[in-house]
Amino acid sequence: MVTSPKTVLIAGASRGLGHAMAEQFLLHGWQVNFYDPAPGADTVLNAVLAKARRWVPEVYDHLPAEGQLLLCARLSEAVADAHWIQESTPERIEVKQSVLRDIQAACTTDAIIASSTSGFMPSELQADATRPEQIIVAHPYNPVYLLPIVECVPSALVPQETVHSAELILRQIGMKPITLQAEIPAHVGDRLLEAVWREALWLVKDGIATTEQIDDIMTHGFGLRWAQKGLFETYRTAGGKAGMRHFLEQFGPCLQWPWTKLTDVPDLDDELINRIVTQSDEQAAGRTVSELEDERDANLVAMLKSLRGQDSAAGAFLNDLSTAQRS
């Protein structure tokens, strides 16, 4: 039985999700045991923490005292008293399965082990695990400190009690868990992103539009609608007074038209890669990645504040969270 209060282990920090989950737990009062053998991992962690400490107070009304951060040299040292364990190693199934076995050899039986994986299903991660029912997927999106959503994916082996406990902990650190009804490769969000990304690559490859033009169409058009109404409510309003049924009857046949290349994969040859890189460099206009992240975060804060004022979408979630914290 875990005895120490509210301790999380972050194992690895692939693609920044481990660092981001560390700050999310830390800024919500948890003790964070951080283990990542990669060179310079602590430097990257401190940079992410600096950004989170800057922006998180802008959107959360109430934050507890920051938790304690402990950098651990050994996985066994980090995992022993953890309530929640977030595995964020590189997207290689053999690496993840090996690390998960090492974690289970040292952790308690009642700890929740969650993977940040973008693509693997929990049943794949559970293969050869000592206690497969202990492992779930909890996949967030960067920047985690401003995007509250997290995909919670159990397999059929995970007890409902474990799922409910995971949802509760995620809400405690200011996140909105969406528990999928079944497991599927790449979950939900990345499957949607993959469809848009693949089509955008074709548009650039075929010389239809530049990277900047595609981004402008999204940021000045339907992207603004999606941030507040998502996909299905956007199309419901497009159906007019008759709603979704009218929209489906009117535009459903369009799905049979050859508008997209979603089933075809563009060849990322040197020509296409160089075209995308050149156009992206021109679009960035000399701004560094850090500067682009700061612009993104400032805009997200402004959008979240506006959505809170309207009590809509992610803003409604933050308002509900604030009410729960005061009660």
| pLDDT (0 to 100) of residue 14 | 55
| pLDDT (0 to 100) of residue 327 | 77
| pLDDT (0 to 100) of residue 291 | 96
Helix locations, the chain, DSSP H = 17-26, 41-59, 75-79, 93-106, 122-125, 160-172, 189-205, 211-217, 223-229, 232-238, 243-251, 270-284, 289-310, 313-326
Contact 87, 113 (CB under 8 A): yes
| pLDDT (0 to 100) of residue 310 | 97
Q: What residues are paired with 320 via a beta bridge? A: none
Q: What is the CA radius of gyration of the chain?
A: 21
Residue 211, CA distances (Å) to 30, 271, 281 in order: 41, 15, 10
Residue 292 predicted with pLDDT over 80: yes
Burial of 245 (0-12, 13-18, 19+ CB in 10 A): exposed
Taking only the tens place, the pLDDT of each residue in 226-277 is 999 999 999 999 999 999 999 999 988 888 887 777 778 899 999 999 999 9
> Which residue has tokens 């949607």?
192
Domains of the chain: 7-179 (3.40.50.720), 189-286 (1.10.1040.10)
| pLDDT (0 to 100) of residue 15 | 57
Work out the pLDDT band at 1, boundaries 50, 70, 90: very low
Over residues 55-76, mean pLDDT? 93
> Which residue has tokens 């290349």?
261
Taking only the tens place, the pLDDT of each residue in 130-141 is 999 999 999 999
Residue 4 predicted with pLDDT over 60: no
Work out the pLDDT band at 5, boundaries 50, 70, 90: low
